[in-house]
Amino acid sequence: MEKKWYERDDENRIPDKVQSENMVEGQWIKCPDCEKITYIEELEKNLYICPKCSYHLNIDARKRIGFLLDENSFEEIDQDITASDPLQFLDTDGSYKDRIGKYMRKTGLNEAIVTGKGKLDKKDVCIGVLDFNFSGGSMGSVVGEKVTRMVERAVNERMPVIIVSSSGGARMQEGIFSLMQMAKTSAALGLLSKNKLSFISVLTHPTTGGVTASFAMLGDVIIAEPNALIGFAGPRVIEQTIKQKLPRGFQRSEFQLEHGLIDMVVNRKDLKKTLSSLLGYLS
């Protein structure tokens, strides 16, 4: 008897929990792909790439910025903007306001994105990095506002933009206020393009939903980390809708590269060097 979609051991599934919740035990981390145990200091030195299978583990926004930008060059902006609760959303897990408070305490962030400016190989850039540990990197009104403000600053100061995405999509607890951010961020990037400034989009695992359907896919160059899940609807939803088994590797970075949706797949260790080269070409 065929398994139901929610029972399948599907390679394309987004993990039910972020690794920081269920894979860290003391000084050891279990790879969510090969399930081998690695000493955390070894993993940190390897930029959170599993030394056994090369799986790229989730990393938080501040670590990512530390890997990409020159030391002590990052200047954060708009860090004090926090989400309101326009719909006074309430479900079985409690209020939206309480949930945001929980994510703040868990991550030390006020929202699911960190934005600012800094230097990458001595090149000035504006950068935004989504953090999957904060509400699955979902885009609500604050994420949209911070992306828009960052892009406007880039226009005013004549700097290129890099956005690193890791997101489950739009934040349903804000309803239409969240969906509006898709148009808002896209319009801001249109202004960036009009001013002949470059935008490089970096997609990490997973990048889905409203983020994929807006700013994540608008880069002049679109880069993905290896084996990242990239798409609008998730593979399980698609299979359930079309009643067909999806091809192996569907929506993964390599599949998207082969079908022309992205421009390159780059190992995390090579990402800073690649971004530096691209910034030189596009300037």
pLDDT at residue 15 in the model: 46
- Which has more confidence, 177 or 283? 177
Find, among 82, 189, 58, 196, the residue nearest to 143 by Cα: 82
Domain assignment present for residue 30? The answer is: no
Domain assignment present for residue 6? The answer is: no
Instruction: Express each pLDDT in 197-230 by its tens digit.
Output: 999 999 999 999 999 999 999 999 999 999 999 9
Q: Distance between CA atoms of 150 and 161, rounded to whole angstroms?
A: 8
Domain assignment present for residue 86? The answer is: yes
For the domain that residue 214 is a member of, what is the CATH number? 3.90.226.10
Q: Distance between CA atoms of 28 and 10, rounded to whole angstroms?
A: 26
Overall domain count for the chain? 1
Domain assignment present for residue 90? The answer is: yes
Domain assignment present for residue 121? The answer is: yes
Query: Does pLDDT of 1 surpass 70?
Result: no
Q: Region 29-44: what's the mean pLDDT?
A: 92
Helix, strand, coil percent values for the chain (each to nearest 5):
40, 20, 40
pLDDT at residue 163 in the model: 98
The domain in which residue 80 lies consists of 59-282
Answer yes or no: pTM beyond 0.85: yes
Find, among 262, 275, 267, the residue nearest to 125 by Cα: 275
Domain assignment present for residue 5? The answer is: no
Instruction: Express each pLDDT in 96-132 by its tens digit.
Output: 999 999 999 999 999 999 999 999 999 999 999 999 9
Q: Provide the residue type at 4 as one letter.
A: K
Domain assignment present for residue 16? The answer is: no
Instruction: Express each pLDDT in 217-274 by its tens digit.
Output: 999 999 999 999 999 998 888 999 999 998 889 999 999 999 999 999 999 999 999 9
Query: Does pLDDT of 17 surpass 70?
Result: no
Of the chain, the percentage scoring pLDDT greater than 90 comes to 85
Find, among 269, 198, 238, 254, the residue nearest to 47 by Cα: 269
pLDDT at residue 92 in the model: 86
Is the CB of residue 230 less than 8 Å from the CB of residue 262? Answer: yes
Domain assignment present for residue 17? The answer is: no
Q: Distance between CA atoms of 176 and 188, rounded to whole angstroms?
A: 19
